[in-house]
Amino acid sequence: MRSNIILIYNKAWGMTDVPYIVPMGDFFLTNDHFYRDRAAVMIIHMPTLHSSDPILNWNMKRDDELWVFWSMECEAHRPWQYQPDVLSLFDIMATHKLDSDIPVPYLDVRYLESFRRPPCAKTGFVNAFISSHFNLSKRLETLEELMKYIDIHSYGKCMHNYDLVADEGMATKENVIASYLFTIAFENTVAEDYVTEKFFQPLEAGSVPIYLGAPNIDEFAPGNRCFINVSDFLSIPELAEYLQTLNADPAAYDSYHAWRTEPLRDTFLAKIDLIATDALLRLCQKIKMQFA
């Protein structure tokens, strides 16, 4: 009889070391390596896995188990993980890419409600929160150049020039973003389907994202004319001039919030439908099909 245990091999960010085992559909999910030899499925959280980890060896994988490659990070950050000899170890891919076996994009069903809220009054022009050193998109250079032409309040560790009065975590960040006309939403990498909370958080808070990132960002937009794409401009000075124009014309700026009262795009709703079922439950369904 095949085991119904799914083992999480390594710790994801924020996960505790406390052993647990919980029911998950027709399976039991655990991080306790006591069950290593009995698990039918093993999830490996790739962003926290080192390339020298002994698990990346054919001798470590049993013939009767499935391995799951789990990552919401862009493949450009850790190219070694996408080498053929590594990928050949895995049976199921769970990544941010929409064509993976179990897509795990940066989406949340709460957006359906939060996107409908009217934006609050604005007291600021442009804000930025960038603290990560990942910069394959050249976002830091882009931000630095844009700051030459317009005033940007940068609260993150990168290009920091503005302090929070009081920092109580995410709630403070969301309140700050809500008070600005525009929010810098620069991904750390330009890659298809890699659309993170940097894009959705301003939309949720009621600010207009200035986006740099995925070439297929339109497929993730919840409505028409809801963001400003850096790639639509020939130069950073041209982008800066356009932002200043919107700042001086309230009616033109408000047109970027009209989508909030219109039907959301079918392409966006289809993605929300996709993630409406928890990713781990979708994985369980996939495993049942694999074992059938």
Give tens-digit pLDDT for 101-144. Answer: 999 999 999 999 999 999 999 999 999 999 998 999 999 999 99
Q: What pTM was computed for the model? A: 0.94
- Which residues, 6 or more positions from 145, have their beta carbon under 8 angstroms from its beta carbon? 236
- Would strands 21-24 and 27-30 be described as parallel, antiparallel, or unpaired? antiparallel
Residue type, 66: L
Superfamily of domain covering 111-271: Glycosyl transferase family 10, C-terminal domain (3.40.50.11660)
Instruction: Read off the pLDDT of residues 143-170 as tens digits, 9 standing for 90 and up.
Output: 999 999 999 999 999 999 999 988 888 9
Structure tokens given for 272: 């929300």
- Residue closest to 138 by CA, chosen among 184, 183, 188: 188
